[in-house]
Chains A and B, each alone.
Chain A
Amino acid sequence: MKKKIHLFLYNLKNSWLFLTVIFVELIICMSLLAVALTNYLGVNSKFSYYNAKIADKSFVMFENFSSEVNSTAENVSKWLNDDLKSLVTSVNIGEIQVNDDWRKSIPRLTIATPALCTNLNNKGLKFSFNSDSDYREAYVSAIFKDVYKQNRIYDISVDCDDNVYDTKIKVIGYFDYKEYYSFSGSDIYYANVDMVVCDELPPFVSLSSGIFINDKQPTHYKDLGFKSLTVKEYYEYSRDGSPYEVYLYFAMIVILFTFVTILCNYILSVDNMTKRNALLYACGNTNVAGIMIEGVKMLFAFLMAFVVSICIAELTMFIGLERQNIVMTRENFYLSALIVFGLYIVAITIGFVKFVKAKPLKVISLEKK
């Protein structure tokens, strides 16, 4: 075993330059792909609300309301003849007023309309809404578990400029701070939201956009002065406008280039490796041991790169690198590492097979046939 270790170290020493290059390239590939995948998958999740059932419903933007009346829920309701019951939207209304001893953690509250809570795939937010109930159901960020206990009722108060939102909430569940839920173009980012309450919109909240789950076409809302299109049109417009695929394409091109260079360099180095292996064979090694050591060496290079990449990924997650509230996850990193490993195996296979097939005696010019 000791001799095998010496032989392994000898092998490492003699290919240190090649291994260093591979090491650096693998780290770059794993990290780049992890970021690109995170962005791609994360941005795709932004559109996870979209499905065939709502494709022809009306998506309405209130910010471009041509009327001089502002876009508060009360005013919008008047213009739409009180038709806010079918509105699917969420509104972040502000920070919950807390006692002094909670100063370090100030929960932020988002109201999700009942239509949102019941009509869309809400990823586990199992609300039920009853307008006659004394309280409203709420999901709370897991970081506030010690503050808001499950199945207990709390008084909540949020200052919204000159208005106040007061209600009682019952905590029915928790969400992890890393998850986010996106719909209708206005997103509930759990990273920025600490409590989601299912409730009808207070009249003073300002609306930006929403989906109307009813039988009215976008033209109805356009005629009233709103900017409106079908949900399908909005979905396609949003996707086309998102640069999420660019990062993935860039990563794929860089990775492809990298592995082509690894493949070529490894094939070119096989002759030297074979000669060295043949000489070691003559000096007292077995061919099988030589091949195994070479295989272990190449896997060792990947393993070292993987360890360093994990550290980079963990650091990235710790710092909380976010872009449009997309947070890198361990799953994305391991997926990228797996893809890179697969490409790495493919890249070195041709050279390695050539190395395995080489005959030591032929290399050192002793074998005639």
Chain B
Amino acid sequence: MSIIELIQIDKKYNEGRDNEVHALRGIDLMIEKGDSLAIMGVSGSGKSTLLNILGCLDKPTSGSYKLNDHNVAHKNASELAKIRNQTIGFVFQSFGLIESDTVYSNVKLPLLFSDKYKGKEVKNRVLDIIKQVGLEGNENKKVKDMSGGQQQRVAIARAMVNDPDIILADEPTSALDSNTSDEIMKVLLDLQKKEKTIIVVTHDINVAKKMDKIVSIQDGIII
């Protein structure tokens, strides 16, 4: 069953102006539930724009985007926010953490908007996820005092805490050494065993080869 279905997705920035950019052109993409997918492309190819659309961080200019069989392309900001919270977890290139906060505070962020966990369940869930990524005992540690690999684990924990169906990772290993990269990829791929759909944007072929499928994008078109 397809969890994600993109049909003729177009994205233009500054449409109608002199500096118009056609970032995505007629993108068709289907992703099955539980798959792992790597999106590869050079800088400026449109891969991050595609990730934005997939993650409901941005809306396409035209086309259809079905997520879990619901057309989300033209939903309003509040509805997209809800989808982001419930269905998608993000892992950012530069970890995307609040460095002055603790591990616990960072991981808990998505639960501010969630109905899934209430009261004491929130704390239990956060601690459980921190344990799952191998950071048990570091809940009260400030993120800025942690290594790159540990920080990325925190980012993954935050992406997972609300039990989303999809994990989107933008260059999750670019800031890490090869050993740590392997560890992080292992954590991500372990999530696939829990029936999570993993989508990774990367320029690293070694990372891409670990995924079930690879999609290459160039000048806004899947090649």
A211-219, A220-228, A285-293: which lies at the interface: A285-293
Closest A residue to B12 using CB positions: A369
Asked if B113 and A279 sit within 8 Å, CB to CB, the answer is no
Partner of A366, one of B51, B114, B158, B162: B51
Asked if B112 and A10 sit within 8 Å, CB to CB, the answer is yes
Partner of B13, one of A14, A287, A369: A369
Question: Which of A3, A276, A283, A289 has the largest number of chain B CB atoms within 10 A?
Answer: A283
Q: A369 — which chain B residues lie within 8 A by C-beta? A: 13-14, 21, 23
Asked if A6 and B94 sit within 8 Å, CB to CB, the answer is no
How long is the Cα–Cα vector from A256 to B85 in the complex, in angstroms?
A: 44
Asked if B96 and A6 sit within 8 Å, CB to CB, the answer is no
Q: A364 — which chain B residues lie within 8 A by C-beta? A: 92, 96
Interface residue count on the A side (C-beta < 8 Å):
27
Whether B82 sits at the interface, judged by CB under 8 Å, is yes
Query: What 1/0 mask marks residues of chain B from 127 to 163 whose CB sits below 8 Å from any chain A CB?
Result: 0000000000000000000000000000000100010
How long is the Cα–Cα vector from A272 to B94 in the complex, in angstroms?
A: 15
How long is the Cα–Cα vector from A367 to B48 in the complex, in angstroms?
A: 7
How long is the Cα–Cα vector from A275 to B93 in the complex, in angstroms?
A: 14
Q: B77 — which chain A residues lie within 8 A by C-beta? A: 286-288
- B8, chain A: closest CB distance, angstroms: 21
Query: What 1/0 mask marks residues of chain A from 1 to 36 whose CB sits below 8 Å from any chain B CB?
Result: 001001100100010000000000000000000000
Q: B96 — which chain A residues lie within 8 A by C-beta? A: 279, 282, 364
Asked if B48 and A284 sit within 8 Å, CB to CB, the answer is no
Q: B86 — which chain A residues lie within 8 A by C-beta? A: 284
- A164, chain B: closest CB distance, angstroms: 79
Q: Which of B21-54 contact A (CB under 8 A)?
A: 21, 23, 44, 48-49, 51-52
Whether A81 sits at the interface, judged by CB under 8 Å, is no
| Contact A286 B57, CB 8 Å, known A7-B112, A275-B98 | no
Q: A357 — which chain B residues lie within 8 A by C-beta? A: none
Asked if B51 and A280 sit within 8 Å, CB to CB, the answer is no
Partner of B98, one of A279, A287, A360: A279
Chain B interface extent, by class:
35 or more
How long is the Cα–Cα vector from A285 to B112 in the complex, in angstroms?
A: 9
Whether B78 sits at the interface, judged by CB under 8 Å, is yes
Closest B residue to A9 using CB positions: B112
Asked if B57 and A284 sit within 8 Å, CB to CB, the answer is no
Whether B110 sits at the interface, judged by CB under 8 Å, is yes
Whether B215 sits at the interface, judged by CB under 8 Å, is no
Asked if A283 and B109 sit within 8 Å, CB to CB, the answer is yes
Whether A368 sits at the interface, judged by CB under 8 Å, is yes
Asked if B110 and A368 sit within 8 Å, CB to CB, the answer is no
How long is the Cα–Cα vector from A303 to B52 in the complex, in angstroms?
A: 39
Q: Which of B73-87 contact A (CB under 8 A)?
A: 77-78, 81-82, 84-86
Asked if B84 and A283 sit within 8 Å, CB to CB, the answer is yes
Query: What 1/0 mask marks residues of chain B from 89 to 107 whose CB sits below 8 Å from any chain A CB?
Result: 0101110111011000000
Asked if A361 and B58 sit within 8 Å, CB to CB, the answer is yes
How long is the Cα–Cα vector from A272 to B99 in the complex, in angstroms?
A: 10
Asked if A366 and B113 sit within 8 Å, CB to CB, the answer is no
Q: Which of A163-222 contact B (CB under 8 A)?
A: none
Q: B113 — which chain A residues lie within 8 A by C-beta? A: 3, 7, 283-285
Show 6 A/B contacts (Cβ-Cβ < 8 Å), sorted by A.
Answer: A283-B109, A283-B113, A284-B113, A285-B81, A361-B57, A367-B58
Q: 10 nearest interchain CB pairs?
A: A284-B85, A284-B113, A283-B110, A369-B13, A286-B77, A286-B81, A283-B109, A282-B90, A284-B84, A369-B21
Chain A residues in contact with chain B, CB under 8 A?
A: 3, 6-7, 10, 14, 272, 275-276, 279-289, 360-361, 364-369
